[in-house]
Every structure is written in structure tokens, then in C-alpha cells.
Amino acid sequence: MLFGQREREHPPQHLAYVEWFTPFSANPEPNSKLYKVARALHGNSRIVSIVPVTSVVQSIHLSPLPGPAIPLDWSSQTILDECRNFLVNSFSDHHHTYQAFEFSGI
């Protein structure tokens, strides 16, 4: 079941596909001062949801964290699918990022 009784009677007009990530790390990365997150997985499968757009509070800017070397087969069109770890760019939107940190208990 995708939605409850209320949503079945009045289905949402617009939906969003959401991929979930781990909670923010307790401390920022030492060099960048950015917080690390990883894809939330169940086994090898990504944890995803389809939610009404009205449930989306904000988006956040992620910078790929590929490791010691960037694989040569990654491109700007595949990097978000290929990379598992990301840094949260808290410099792109201070107000909302700090609210997200407060919400997550950091």
C-alpha cells in the first residue's frame, strides 16, 4: 500500500522520488569541515520512497566523496548513481542546513 485511506480518497497530485541517506556524521570531515553521509541501503538495495511533494521540506546539496581516486568511467551523468558517499555542502544554504543539523540532533 503506497498511501493510507485519506490519500486513497484524495490522492496527491504530484509525487517525489526520494532516495534516503544515513544520518549526518557526528563530526565534520577534518579537511573540508563538511558532514559525511552515505546512501541508506537495505542489503545492496537503496532505500527509497515515493512521497507527496507537499511532504518535501527541503533539498540539500551533496558533493560526491569518491575516495582516494575518481574512477575514470564516472561522468557528470553517472556520478550520483556510482558514488556511495557524499559530503553535505553546508556552505550552499546555511539557514536550512543548520536547521537540518538541529533536527537530526547534531
Q: How many whole angstroms separate alpha carbon 6 and alpha carbon 9?
A: 5
Reading the block at residue 72, the C-alpha cell is 575514470
Reading the block at residue 77, the C-alpha cell is 551523468
Reading the block at residue 56, the C-alpha cell is 518535501
Q: How many whole angstroms separate alpha carbon 64 and alpha carbon 18?
A: 18
Closest CA to 24 of 53, 58, 51, 60: 60
Each residue's pLDDT tens digit, 40-84: 999 999 999 998 888 888 888 888 988 888 889 989 898 888 898
Return the higher-pLDDT residue of 51 and 11: 51
The residue assigned the cell 546539496 is 61
Question: How big is the chain by its Cα radius of gyration, in Å?
Answer: 16
Q: What is the pLDDT of residue 103?
A: 47
Q: How many whole angstroms separate alpha carbon 44 and alpha carbon 76?
A: 23
Are the CB atoms for 90 and 35 separated by under 8 Å? Answer: yes
| Structural domain boundaries in the chain | 5-104
pTM for this prediction: 0.70
Q: What number is the average pLDDT over the span 3-22?
A: 81
